[in-house]
Structure 1
Amino acid sequence: MDLHDWPGHELTDAELDVAYNVRAKAGDELFPRHMARYREMSDAAVDGLPGRPGIVYDDASGEALDVWGIENIRGGESTGGESTGGEGGRLRPVFVFVHGGYWRALSRADSAFMARMLDGDGVATVVPDYTLAPEATLEEIVRQVRASIAWVYRNGREYGLDPDRIVVGGSSAGGHLTGMTMVGGWQDALGLPADVVKAAMPFSGLFDLRPLQRVYVNEWLGLDVERAAAMSPELLPAGHRCPAVVTVAEHDGTGFLGQSRRFHRHWGGSAELMVVPGRDHFDVVLDLADPASQVSQALLGLIRSV
C-alpha cells in the first residue's frame, strides 16, 4: 500500500481545508450556537436523571466517565435481553458515546443529550472524557477510549450495565474514535472478547486520517503519514465486523461525506449508510435527543439487535 496515495491526495491544501473545515462551513454565527446547544441539551437531558457522574475509568490518565439512566432497573424492563444483575435488577444495554471536537475540544458535559431518550427505552448511557490534544497524542486518546470500553465490560454490572450489550457511537473525532473501537487487534491486550463492541454508530466520522496531515488540524495532532495510517480505522484489520450504521449529514463537509461512504463500503454487508437529510455536521447528532428522529430509531434498532 502506498501511504501517500490516499483519496483526495491530488487536491490542493486550500481544497482540503474546504473539505474538512466544518467550523468555517458553519460560520461565525452558527458554530457557537451549535456548541451552546450541545451543553444546554445535555444539561436538560440529565437533569433529574438517575446516574453516577465522575467515575475514574483509567488510573493512568485519571480520566472519568458519566453513567446515566441506571436507576430503577430492579424488576424493570430492558431492551433486547433477560440479563440480570445490579442487586437482582435487569442489566441495561449501554450506549457509549464518544464526543467530538477534532480531538481538542468539548467534554462529557457537552455530550449526554441522548441520555433521556435512551433511558425512556431502557438503555443506559456512558459518556467518557479523554485527554485533549495537544496535551495527549492521538495514540494516547485512542488508548483511553478503549480503556473506557474495558471499564464498562469489567465494571458495568455494578452499575446495572450489561457488558454483553455494549454499543459505541460518536461524532466527528468521536466517529473516528468509535471506528478505533470497532477494528480488531486491540482487545486481547485488555483481556476483552473480540466482539466486545456489539454494534456501532459513528456520526460524521474520520476513518482515513492521511488527509489531515495537510490541514490545520495537524497543528495539534502532529501526524506524519505513517502515524496517520496507523490511526485510520479504514486501513486497519476489521476483526469482528459488528453491525454498524455509518451516519453522516446531507450538508456535512465533503471530506466527511466521502469518508463515511468509503468506510461503509469497507465495513461491508454488516454496515448501513445513513445520509440524514437537512442536517449539517454539528446538528445531525443532536437528533439523538428526539426519540422519533431517524437517527434515534436507527440507534434503538441497533441496540435491540444485540
Structure 2
Amino acid sequence: MDNFLHKWTICMKKAFRLLLMPLLFILMHGSYGASFPDWHHMDQDTLNRSYNNSLAVPESKEMFNHWVIEAKEFRASHAQYLDIPYGPSKREKLDIFVAAPNAPTLVFIHGGFWQMRSKDDFAFIAKPYVKAGINVVMVGYPLAPEASMSEIVAASQRAITYVQHHIQDWQGDPHRVVVSGWSSGGHLTAEVMNNPIVSAAVPLSGIYDLEPLVGSYIDKKLHLSQQEVKQFSPMNDTPPKALPIYIFVGGAELSEMRRQSYDYAAKLAALHQPGGFKELPQKNHYTILADMINPEGEIYRTLIQVLQGKSLILNQ
C-alpha cells in the first residue's frame, strides 16, 4: 500500500508539472487576463501608439547615438571579419568578431521594425561578449520597403545557414551556438531557430504575432499580406521540441510589447518548451538592451550561462 501511495504521489507531481503549471501560466499571464487591453478593440491611433517605442521613451535617440559611437569604435578595432556576404542582396552581410578557438558563438539579429538600423549600429553588443571569450556574429539583412517580410525572413535564415556551414572558419564550437535578437530581431530569432546549429534562442522584446501590425504605421513600409502574417508569426509555429527558448521583456515596456511576449511565453509553456520567461522590472524597450551588455544584467548572465552549455529554467 505504501509503495502504491508513493508511486501515486510521484505521478501526481508529474501531472501537475506537465499539465497544470502551463495552464496556470496561461490563465495568469496570457492575453485572456485583465492585464492587457484587447488590441482588437483599439482604434488605429491607439494601436499605433501601442507599438511606438521611440515615442514612449524620449531618451531613446540619445541612448542610440551613444551606442552607435561605441559600435563604430568596436568595429574599427575588430576589423578582421567585417561585411562577410552570405546572400545576394547588398545588406546580406555578417560581421564576425572572434574571441578564441573552440569558443561558443552568439548570433545577434538587430531591431528596427524590419525597416531601420543595421548590424553596424549594434556592434556595441559584441564588446562584452568578446571580452568574456565568446565569438559574436552580427547579422545584417535587407529592410522594407525594398524587401518584403518573406524576403527578410528568408535572408535571416540564410545567415544562420551560413553560420552552420562556416563556423569552422573561425574555429567556433558548432555545439554552442545561441541566437538572440531584439525587437524585430526577436521576431527573426524565432523565425531562424529551427536550424539544427542553434542550441538555444534568447529573443528580447520580440514581436510574435504580426496581425496587430497590419494597417499600422509600421505596415506602411512592410505591406504585410495575410499569407505573410500567417506564415511568419511565431505564434503560429511549433519550435523544435528540445530547443531551450529564453524570452525576456521589460516591465516598463508598452502594454502591446509586453502582451506579445506574455502570449508567446504562454504558448511555449503549454508546449512544455524548455527555457522560460522573465519580465525585467522597470526596464523599457531600450534599457532592456542595456541589460544585455551589462555584466551584472540578468540577460547578460543568462546568455553567458546558456552559451557555456548550461541548462537553465527562467522563472517569472
TM-score of the superposed pair, with normalisation by structure 2: 0.80
* In the alignment, structure 1 residue 296 sits paired with structure 2 residue 300: yes
Counterpart position of 1:124:
135
Counterpart position of 1:198:
199
CA contact (8 A) 2:208 2:260 kept: yes
Counterpart position of 1:43:
72
* In the alignment, structure 1 residue 280 sits paired with structure 2 residue 309: no
CA contact (8 A) 2:186 2:206 kept: yes
Task: State the distance in 2 between where 1:139 and 1:224 align.
Answer: 10
How far apart are 1:10 and its partner, in Å? 2.5
Task: State the distance in 2 between where 1:119 and 1:31 align.
Answer: 25
CA contact (8 A) 1:153 1:164 kept: no
Bigger strand fraction: 1
Q: Can you list the C-alpha shifts for 1:188-213, whole angstroms capped at 9, x where unaligned?
A: xxxxxxx3211111111000100000
| 3-state SS of 2:282 partner | strand
Task: State the distance in 2 between where 1:57 and 1:274 align.
Answer: 33
| 3-state SS of 1:92 partner | coil
Q: Can you list the C-alpha shifts for 1:15-70, whole angstroms capped at 9, x where unaligned?
A: 2122211122123xx23213213312323444534741111111355621100134
Distance 1:260 1:155, change over 3 A: same
CA contact (8 A) 1:45 1:112 kept: yes
Distance 1:241 1:260, change over 3 A: farther
How far apart are 1:241 and its partner, in Å? 4.3
CA contact (8 A) 1:202 1:247 kept: yes
- Say how many residue pairs are matched: 272
Task: State the distance in 1 between where 2:229 and 2:66 align.
Answer: 31
Amino acid at match of 1:106: R
CA contact (8 A) 1:94 1:123 kept: yes
| Residue number among 180, 184, 188 corresponding to 2:191 in the alignment | 180
| Residue number among 159, 163, 183 corresponding to 1:152 in the alignment | 163
Bigger helix fraction: 2
* In the alignment, structure 1 residue 34 sits paired with structure 2 residue 35: no
Matches within 5 A, 1:1-306: 8-27=39-58, 30-46=59-75, 48-49=77-78, 51-59=80-88, 63-70=92-99, 73=100, 90-182=101-193, 184=194, 187=195, 195-268=196-269, 269-305=273-309
Distance 1:10 1:132, change over 3 A: same
How far apart are 1:214 and its partner, in Å? 3.1
Unmatched runs of 5 consecutive residues or more in structure 1 = 1-6, 74-89, 188-194
Question: Highest CA radius of gyration, 1 or 2?
Answer: 2
TM-score of the superposed pair, with normalisation by structure 1: 0.82
| 3-state SS of 1:197 partner | coil
| 3-state SS of 1:162 partner | coil
What percent identity do the matched residue pairs reach? 26
| 3-state SS of 1:305 partner | coil
Task: State the distance in 2 between where 1:141 and 1:246 align.
Answer: 22
C-alpha RMSD of the superposition: 2.2
How far apart are 1:271 and its partner, in Å? 2.7
Q: Can you list the C-alpha shifts for 1:159-209, whole angstroms capped at 9, x where unaligned?
A: 122232211011101010001112x4xx5xxxxxxx321111111100010
Amino acid at match of 1:176: H
